[in-house]
Amino acid sequence: MDYFSGYISALVGQLSKLPGIGNKTAQRLAFHIMSMPKEQAHELADAIRDARENVRYCKTCCTLTDAEYCPVCSNPERDASTIMVVETARDLAAYEKTGRYSGVYHVLQGAISPMLGIGPDDIRLKELMQRLQGDVKEVIIATNSSLEGETTAMYLSKLIKPTGIKVTRIASGVPVGGDLEYIDEVTLLRALEGRTEL
């Protein structure tokens, strides 16, 4: 790539390290960045630096935030007796976007994966168990519907049930608007198993 200057190559190299950004896309982004007004390029660079510098984990739910407690945990109107357990801060964001969930969250920062060598001690499980010593009525397990997510859900339910706290799992089935024809068999079977009476 010596037909590009050192700075361009460096930028393309850095950008192509990002997930889902291949060399072509990195090149396109790099040239876009170089044609940006200077202030805009600086804003982008600063946003990256600031976010990385200032973001930490919420002391209660372990999501990414820039204060000691995240907006959800510090909101007194949220029902702290219902905890939804998710894998990542992005999953939290997805449920928050619905605007219908009034409980709080716990972000595990991952899922148990024997394949990748991620055990129960590698995710924020200890922090969750500590929270359960407070006034908690229900734990909703909303880990992904993947092998790792299901493993984590099973593990969690076995761990929490003895405490007497209600443990639930979000429903698995056909997505709204989903065309049965294009949905995988496992999901179809799950939808059948989880059928409810009308």
Can you give the binding site for a second copy, defined by CB under 8 A? 1-8, 10-11, 13-15, 17-21, 25, 27-34, 36, 38, 40-55, 64-67, 70-72, 88-90, 92-93, 96-97
Smallest CA-to-CA distance from 30 within 6, 63, 66 is with: 6
Answer whether 159's CB lies under 8 Å from 121's CB. no
CB of 52 to a second copy, least distance (A): 4
State which residue, 52 or 195, has the beta carbon closest to a second copy: 52
* CB 18, min distance to a second copy, A: 6
Residue listed under structure tokens 């790099």: 30
* Nearer to a second copy (CB atom), residue 50 or residue 79: 50
* Shortest Cβ 109–a second copy spacing (Å): 9
For residues 125, 128, 133, 139, the Cα torsion angle rounded to the nearest 10 degrees is -110
Instruction: State the CB neighbour count (10 A cutoff) for residue 155.
Output: 18
Q: How near is the Cβ of 167 to a second copy at its closest, in Å? A: 24
**Start-to-end Cα distance in the chain:** 63
